[in-house]
Structure 1
């Protein structure tokens, strides 16, 4: 069922990593052109959906080739690696933020990054870190991925045999979670910013999409303008984009948006993956898949380099987490000058791209060659 690797997946994972980096550098002008400013969803949805896609694709192959227990073992081994990376990355991030804070007099970067818990109660903070309850800003996606990947070991066999059964159960849990208040605990009687009980649906849908992509589907010969689902998805994406842009001018937004509709759609929760966010991402993904049905365009040098970043998403994500507070520090020391903001944004992406290129080269050098 599973053969080859779709370079489009790597490209969009790499693009999501760029967006995440730009979105997490305060006042970054390039953050104004990321997905969150032109629609209800953002790079987080891309990251989680494609994580589900890639995970089912990779471990589905293992299950078919080596059996369930070997697939389960490899999933849990990868989960452990992610957990260890999370612990060390958080320790490194705290060191960088404390260092940056000592060089910035105009702002409290420790408070902005959500690290005051470590100062006020370091012993409890260390325990909460080990239990994934202490997650400063920038660190939320990795614990979510850890929980979702660990859960894959339970559902992978059924996912391969009857994906719609898993999707149906996942959808039911997603709909019940906000009403029942299901979420995991965080520090100070809080909850996870990315509720894994609701975000699991996007991960499962990504896995179902991976299975669907490997099944034979007759080619659609009708023009896109005559496909009702494509038209509906495109219209929704456009409406969401217009509405999101209107948030920049609250008075204009309030003037044109009927109060009844505002009460119906707001707030658009990111924590519980609001249905409007979910539908926006699915519509955007469907439109993109229809407009880019083949992978030939990924051979473009720029697209290929972004794809290398996506191929090593964990390493590149970690580098982006480290670079974001450093970029923020340099920007603050320069008085948030536009030139410095642009420089740190571009240099950060170049460093992430360089890491992806180096890891790709290193992987090819380590591959055995016939003599």
Structure 2
């Protein structure tokens, strides 16, 4: 079943994920200590992919039910092509910014840090790999992943609308193969976000969109009497405490049993380690139960974040461009705490302004169409 109304919580958490991704991409940013990656095993990337699947299934599912699967497929492929063109253009802009910044920052090698030395050493092959989505310097991994996931959506959308549980089961089987199955990247490497693993999160988001209406039914029992809710909260508290202990290695070594550490680490982000996946799913479940729609979404700050979430592609691209610029500004200003806070907040402000402009432009176009019809 699909919701008739728009769930603004999805926009809010999507916008929040974009802010977290931007802050996490600025080296030594104090505000990055506040992002979700510091309080558990998962981070903003899981939020972004899950909600991308939710939004895509919801939007194209409605088109498929209204106009047919062929029209929905054409629109999906057109969107994937737009994302591909944006990826090529954004990478060119990013390289220009990093090379410019590197010529002004003498204390660090920004080209090396951003993973662009491959382009300098082998430009012809790098350009070919860029067209094949194999050349992905730092900050550029999410877009190629989203393109691949979107291209696979027409294959599962019909069944996702009818029997989402079957699609989830098949997707889970593909997820289990992820450790031995990945796409190739530049210089013999593999994709940082393994599509075979992360597709499961994308599909889970799509399945959640299909069942959102039933999930919104009021609870029979209080939350504190629901075993699944209590289990999720307990897991979040334990993993949160463990993640915080990483900041103090001596404390972590003292409380972490050796046998458990041998089984737990490394927690793979590439293949979406099961403990990362479970942490994110517990986070989603608790958030869905505790964070309800209400007047708080009409407050000024949540409205700005929701607007950023509605224009996630444009805001994400701006964040990719602003992150190295903020890093350059911090380095030129001596990496002081004040300038780091200023650049991080100014970047979010610019992202919010872009979202506001896009929203105003859309409303203007809507009014124009109404007056001409």
Q: TM-score range by the shorter chain?
A: over 0.9
Counterpart for residue 108 of structure 1: 109
Cα distance in 1, alignment partners of residues 115 and 217 from structure 2: 50
Q: Which residue of 1 aligns with 2:283?
A: 284
Contact preservation (8 Å) 2:178, 2:194: no
SS in 1 for 2:271: coil
> Structure 1 residues 94 and 363 mapped into 2: Cα distance closer, same or farther (>3 Å)?
same
Between stretches 294-303 and 105-114, larger displacement belongs to 294-303
Shift of residue 295, structure 1, vs aligned partner? 4.2
Can you list the C-alpha shifts for 1:121-177, whole angstroms capped at 9, x where unaligned?
A: 000000000000000000000000000011001110011111000000001111122
Between the two proteins, the alignment pairs up a number of residues equal to 369
In structure 1, the gaps of 5 or more residues are none
Inter-partner Cα distance in structure 1 for 2:246 and 2:355 = 35
1:307-364 deviation digits (Å, cap 9, x = unpaired): 0000000000000000000000010111111111000001000000000111111111
Inter-partner Cα distance in structure 1 for 2:363 and 2:227: 44
Going from structure 1 to structure 2, the CA distance change for 1:338 and 1:55 (only over 3 Å counts) comes to: same
Runs of 4+ in 1 over 2 A off after TM superposition: 214-218, 293-297, 368-371
- Where 2:367 maps in the other structure, the secondary structure is coil
> Does structure 1 conserve the Cα–Cα contact (< 8 Å) formed by 2:114 and 2:137?
yes
Q: Secondary structure at the match of 2:352?
A: helix
User: Match for residue 85 of structure 2?
Assistant: 84
On the 8 A contact 1:236/1:283 being kept in 2, the answer is yes
Q: Deviations over 1:151-206 (max 9, x none)?
A: 0011100111110000000011111221xx10000011100000000000000000
Q: CA deviation at 1:219?
A: 1.7
Question: What does residue 41 of structure 2 align with?
Answer: 40
Which residue pairs with 2:98 in the alignment?
97
Is structure 2 residue 239 aligned with structure 1 residue 230? no
Q: Distance in 2 between matches of 1:148 and 1:367?
A: 30
CA distance in 1, matches of 2:177, 2:69: 30
| Distance in 2 separating the partners of 1:258 and 1:307 | 42
Q: Per-residue displacement from partner, 1:78-115 (whole Å, max 9, x unpaired)?
A: 00000000000000000000000000000000000000
1:148 equivalent in structure 2: 149
Q: How does 1:305-316 map to 2 (within 5 A)?
A: 305-316=304-315
Partner of 2:60: 59
> What SS does the aligned partner of 2:211 have?
helix
1:192 aligned partner: 191
* Structure 2 gap segments, 5+ residues each: none
SS class of match (1:15)? helix
Aligned to 1:70: 71
Which whole-Å deviations, capped at 9, do the CAs of 1:195-246 have from their partners, x for residues lacking one?
Answer: 0000000000000000010347642131111011110001111111100000
Q: Distance in 2 between matches of 1:101 and 1:216?
A: 50
